[in-house]
């Protein structure tokens, strides 16, 4: 459907003329039909009133109320002569005679509107309604019968309204013809008048539209339609010349600003005084994970759902000075943003808008957290064996322990802690080396690597009476890998499966070829990993059960080394586990071409 603003002036005027004509016709039809109908009804009431009075005089003269058969005959005769339905009703509402219906089948008429009105005002009553007896709409007219000032009954006359409707229909046809002729003449005159006014304006409008679309070289032809339009054309030409110069300057400046904003790492949002967004650069859209179309022209709080951003912006507007705050924002991932709110002031020092500069410092904060956690964990892991060693050494040095067995036991504990400390340092150095270097992957046979690891660890499984199963698909292809690193991954995963599976349990290693990948799976039915810990088991020094891990010789770095090696091979490691039901670790290597 066309919008009114998209319709031309000429068409608007024509539509207005047509609507006015239709309204005039409609109101005229309503006025004439209503008034004519009332006129004809009033004439019909007068006619029925005169006829009812004639009937009343005949009834009183012949005393017909006491002679029902004679009254019925007279009623039929009166009706036949005037094509009018005549009904005589007693004071109790009983029908004595009716010209069109058997009185025995008619009900009490005391509740008929025209009868009630005639009795109440003691003169006459009328109503229009549909007659179930006759089967069409009727005009009823009733007058009371009085004898010696005593109410005796009612005379009711009625005629159908079909005659009035037919007369009104003929009148409407005449009026319609007249108004159609009038409307056609008015529209033709209106069209000619509109065309003479609008045509020169259309010429001016088309040229102005081309100028507004950027064709600044276009000029309006100055024709002497009339002095007002000529002045308009001259002003448009002058405006086009001025705009051509200004727009060229503005476009160049705009392109420079857009290039700067597009290339900025920091997000930038410009708002007006009401907080509605007028500009947002790609960096800001990435930070808030939002499209420009969904935020431009809308308020910050309704687009970003961040009360803090809106609050700090209003605070900067109120203070008329820049403020910086660190904000946490979630959509859907949580981000930490360093936001600077800068109010823009006009010549009168009134706030006309503002600029928000945003720096995503989420990764920086994560690195700080990782660093702090790493320092704390390393300190803890190093302090534990060192404290134990220092304690036993102090005991040996300060106490005169002559029992050789006790001295040997203390020295053995110190040796164990020293070895554990050495393993921890080696693991840290190994992890640092893996993270800082990239390795050249070579074609190699995965079956050979797995066979060596199985030969190395199957004795450990046998010592714990663990059912150790190995399933290797036939004809495995070569894969891209660094043999020693994949060997370290498999040793770590299988050794963990054996350590954390109770005696009599099961450890299953499975290797299969699927598409362009070879999948490795290490599955056990041991203690399992709680759901809350599964996302963190690959972090450095993270242990589900710290006491048991230390007792089994774990440093908390093994799975972190595994994840980094797998990533270096362009793969990813997945874990499926349920507490008390065991765990399954899966990774893949790409098939060599």
DSSP assignment of 120-138 equals: HHSS-EEEEEEETTTTEEE
* Span 82-117, pLDDT tens digits: 778 888 888 888 888 888 778 777 888 888 888 888
Q: What is the pLDDT of residue 186?
A: 75
For residue 560, the number of C-alpha atoms closer than 13 Å in the C-beta half-sphere is: 21
- For residue 201, say if its preceding peptide bond is cis, omega within 30 degrees of 0: no
pLDDT of residue 224 exceeding 60: no
The dihedral of CA 505, 511, 515, 516: what is its sign?
positive
Q: What is the pLDDT of residue 302?
A: 62
pLDDT of residue 388 exceeding 70: no
Q: What is the pLDDT of residue 551?
A: 46
The alpha-carbon radius of gyration of the chain (Å, integer) is 52
What is the rounded CA–CA span in Å between residue 425 and residue 540? 13
Instruction: Please report, to the nearest 10 degrees, the dihedral formed by the alpha carbons of residues 536, 542, 547, 548 taken in order.
Output: 60
pLDDT of residue 153 exceeding 60: yes
User: Quick one: which of 515, 501, 498, 496 has its CA closest to 588?
Assistant: 515
What is the rounded CA–CA span in Å between residue 287 and residue 266? 9
User: Quick one: which of 589, 570, 587 has its CA closest to 444?
Assistant: 589
For residue 483, the number of C-alpha atoms closer than 13 Å in the C-beta half-sphere is: 13
Structure tokens at 36: 């004519």
Query: What rounded mean pLDDT belongs to the chain?
Result: 77
Q: What is the pLDDT of residue 531?
A: 75
What is the rounded CA–CA span in Å between residue 237 and residue 204? 11
Q: What is the mean pLDDT of residues 322-349?
A: 83
What is the number of residues in the chain? 593
What pairs with residue 336 in β-bridges? Answer: 328
For residues 108-120, one letter each, b for 16 or more C-beta atoms within 10 angstroms of the residue's C-beta and e for the rest, the string is ebeebebbbbbbe
* Span 154-175, pLDDT tens digits: 888 888 877 777 777 777 777 7
Q: What is the pLDDT of residue 215?
A: 73
What is the rounded CA–CA span in Å between residue 53 and residue 157? 10
List Cα–Cα distances, 328 to 234, 359, 367, 371, 425, in angstroms. 58, 12, 16, 21, 37
Q: What is the mean pLDDT of residues 378-406?
A: 67
Question: Of 519 and 296, which is predicted with more confidence?
Answer: 519
pLDDT band at residue 547 using 50, 70 and 90 as cut-offs: very low
What is the rounded CA–CA span in Å between residue 493 and residue 508? 11
What is the rounded CA–CA span in Å between residue 26 and residue 19? 10
Q: What is the mean pLDDT of residues 292-313?
A: 72
């Amino acid at each position: 459907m066309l919008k009114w603003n998209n319709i031309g002036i000429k068409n608007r005027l024509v539509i207005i003329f047509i609507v006015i004509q239709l309204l005039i016709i409609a109101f005229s039809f309503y006025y004439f039909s209503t008034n004519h109908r009332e006129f004809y009804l009033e004439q019909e009431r007068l006619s029925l009133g005169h006829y009812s009075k004639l009937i009343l005089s005949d009834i009183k003269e012949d005393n017909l109320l006491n002679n029902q058969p004679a009254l019925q005959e007279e009623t039929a005769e009166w009706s036949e002569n005037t094509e009018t339905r005549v009904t005589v009703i007693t004071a109790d509402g009983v029908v004595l005679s009716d010209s069109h219906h058997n009185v025995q089948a008619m009900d009490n008429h005391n509740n008929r509107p025209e009868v009630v009105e005639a009795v109440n005002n003691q003169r006459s009553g009328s109503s229009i309604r549909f007659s179930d007896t006759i089967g069409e709409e009727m005009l009823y007219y009733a007058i009371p019968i009085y004898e010696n000032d005593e109410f005796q009954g009612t005379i009711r006359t009625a005629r159908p309204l079909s005659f009035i409707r037919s007369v009104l229909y003929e009148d409407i046809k005449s009026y319609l013809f007249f108004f159609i002729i009038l409307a056609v003449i008015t529209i033709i005159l209106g069209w000619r008048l509109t065309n003479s006014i609008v045509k020169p304006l259309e010429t001016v409008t088309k040229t102005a539209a081309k100028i507004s679309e950027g064709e600044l070289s276009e000029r309006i032809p100055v024709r002497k339609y009339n002095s007002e339009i000529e002045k308009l054309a001259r002003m448009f030409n002058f405006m086009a010349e001025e705009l051509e110069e200004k727009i060229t300057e503005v476009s160049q400046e705009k392109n420079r600003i857009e290039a700067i904003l597009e290339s900025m790492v920091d997000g930038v949002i410009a708002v007006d005084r009401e907080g509605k967004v007028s500009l947002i650069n790609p960096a800001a859209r990435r930070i808030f994970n939002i499209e420009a179309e969904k935020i431009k022209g809308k308020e910050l709080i309704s687009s970003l759902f961040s009360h803090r951003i809106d609050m700090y912006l209003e605070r900067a507007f109120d203070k008329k000075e820049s403020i910086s705050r660190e904000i946490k924002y979630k959509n859907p991932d949580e981000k930490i943003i360093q936001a600077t709110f800068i109010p823009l002031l006009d010549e009168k020092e009134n706030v006309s808008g503002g600029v928000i500069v945003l720096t995503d410092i989420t990764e920086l904060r994560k690195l700080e957290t990782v660093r702090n956690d790493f320092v704390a964990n390393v300190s803890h892991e190093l302090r534990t064996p060192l404290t134990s060693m220092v304690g036993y050494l102090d005991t040996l040095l300060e106490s005169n322990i002559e029992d050789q067995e006790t001295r040997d036991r203390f020295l053995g504990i110190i040796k164990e802690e020293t070895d554990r400390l050495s393993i921890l340092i080696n693991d840290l150095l190994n992890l640092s080396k893996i993270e800082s270097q990239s390795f050249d992957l070579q074609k190699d046979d995965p079956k050979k690597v797995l066979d060596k690891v199985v030969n190395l660890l199957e004795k450990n499984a046998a010592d714990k009476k663990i059912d150790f199963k190995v399933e290797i698909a036939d004809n495995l292809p070569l894969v891209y890998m660094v043999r020693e690193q994949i060997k370290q991954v498999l040793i770590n995963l299988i050794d963990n499966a054996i350590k954390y599976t109770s005696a009599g349990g099961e450890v299953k290693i499975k290797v299969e070829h699927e598409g362009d990948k070879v999948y490795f799976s290490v599955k056990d039915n041991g203690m399992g990993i709680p759901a809350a810990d599964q996302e963190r088991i690959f972090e450095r020094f993270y242990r589900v059960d710290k006491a048991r891990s230390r007792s089994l010789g774990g440093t908390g770095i093994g799975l972190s080394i595994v994840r980094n090696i797998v990533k270096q091979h362009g793969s990813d490691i997945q874990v499926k586990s349920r507490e008390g039901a065991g765990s399954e670790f899966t990774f893949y290597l790409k098939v060599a071409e």
